[in-house]
A and B are shown apart, each in its own frame.
Chain A
Amino acid sequence: MTRPAHPHAMQPSRPGRTRTAPPSLPDRFPFAGRYLAYTLFDLTGLLYLVVGFVVLRAVWALGSGPETWQALREQFTNPLYVAFHLLTLVAVCFVAVRFFRLFPKAQPPRIGPAKPPPGPVIHAMLYVVWLGFTLVFATILAGGLF
């Protein structure tokens, strides 16, 4: 069953001579077929927004002194917090995989005189940066470095 879509999404600046049907959402929107990944990708925004404020709370606690920091660390051992962080970690990995696949396709054919590297090279570079940085950052946080 189709229903009205965003009425201005594809509207031309001036009416053309060809008559067009009013825009409508595809049958499979929002959770069937390829729309599932699309909608889930947008839904990760909720987790990113919440986790941003959770990290803010952690940094604020760190600036408030040892007691506040210790209290926050104890709160983080609550199973609900662990489950939330685990779910967000899965969402972050999903965003990385989907976005890194899209990124090479979004490159312009030329940037001034330079040509971007081939898509597979950009793709591989993104994974190297992501996994390499995560390894170093996680090692530092876990006490293995510095």
Chain B
Amino acid sequence: MRHLLLRLEPLIWLLFGQGILIGTILLTGWLLVVGVLAPLGLVSEGALVFERAHRLAAHPIGRLLLLALIALPLWKGAHHLRALSIDFGGASRDPAVATLLYALALGGSALALLAVIRL
């Protein structure tokens, strides 16, 4: 497993890096509006009604943005938690921890692809 993780390191680093850069850029607006302002009633009622939200999300650009918005933060999260686990003395358990975290990110990414396809 350690050998496989080393072989996959460039791909994991690519997804991790894009998770920090693109994931962060995408998440800011989403969290601000969908997570905070809309629930507090500070956004017009019609902004996130189903018809409008679905029309925006089902557009090809909308699907691509949503796929990135889900998948990239998962890889950023998985890789940083793995690094944290190693820093806290978990070198011996790293193969198991890394496999679990990357499996979560991979499974979430596959579900994200399915979620944007079924819109």
Interface residues of A (CB under 8 A from B): 3-9, 29-30, 39, 41-53, 55-56, 58-60, 62-63, 65-66, 69-70, 73, 76-77, 81-82, 84-86, 88-89, 92-93, 95-96, 99, 103, 129-130, 133-138, 140-143, 146
Q: List 30 A-B contacts (CB under 8 A).
A: A7-B91, A42-B81, A43-B80, A48-B27, A52-B70, A52-B105, A56-B70, A56-B115, A60-B111, A62-B50, A63-B119, A66-B50, A66-B51, A70-B50, A73-B39, A76-B34, A76-B35, A85-B35, A85-B36, A88-B27, A89-B32, A96-B24, A99-B20, A129-B25, A133-B25, A134-B29, A137-B28, A138-B28, A141-B33, A143-B43
Chain B contacts for A81, CB-based, 8 A: 35, 39
Residue of B nearest to A54 (CB): B35
Chain B contacts for A44, CB-based, 8 A: 80
Q: Known interface pairs A6-B86, A141-B48. Does A51 touch B27 (Cβ–Cβ under 8 Å)? A: yes
Interface residues of B (CB under 8 A from A): 19-21, 23-40, 43-44, 46-48, 50-54, 56-57, 66, 69-74, 76-81, 83-84, 86-89, 91, 101, 104-105, 108, 111-112, 115-116, 118-119
A7–B71 Cα distance when bound, in Å, is 32
Identify which of A59, A69, A146 contacts B70 (C-beta below 8 A): A59
A49, B74: Cβ atoms closer than 8 Å: yes
Summarize B's interface: helix, strand, loop or mixed.
helix
Chain B contacts for A138, CB-based, 8 A: 28-29, 32-33
Identify which of B25, B30, B101 contacts A55 (C-beta below 8 A): B30
A69, B53: Cβ atoms closer than 8 Å: yes
B112, A99: Cβ atoms closer than 8 Å: no
Q: Known interface pairs A73-B38, A141-B48. Does A59 touch B112 (Cβ–Cβ under 8 Å)? A: yes
Nearest-neighbour CB distance to chain B for A82, whole angstroms, equals 5
A143–B61 Cα distance when bound, in Å, is 17
Residue of B nearest to A146 (CB): B56
Chain B contacts for A76, CB-based, 8 A: 34-35, 38-39
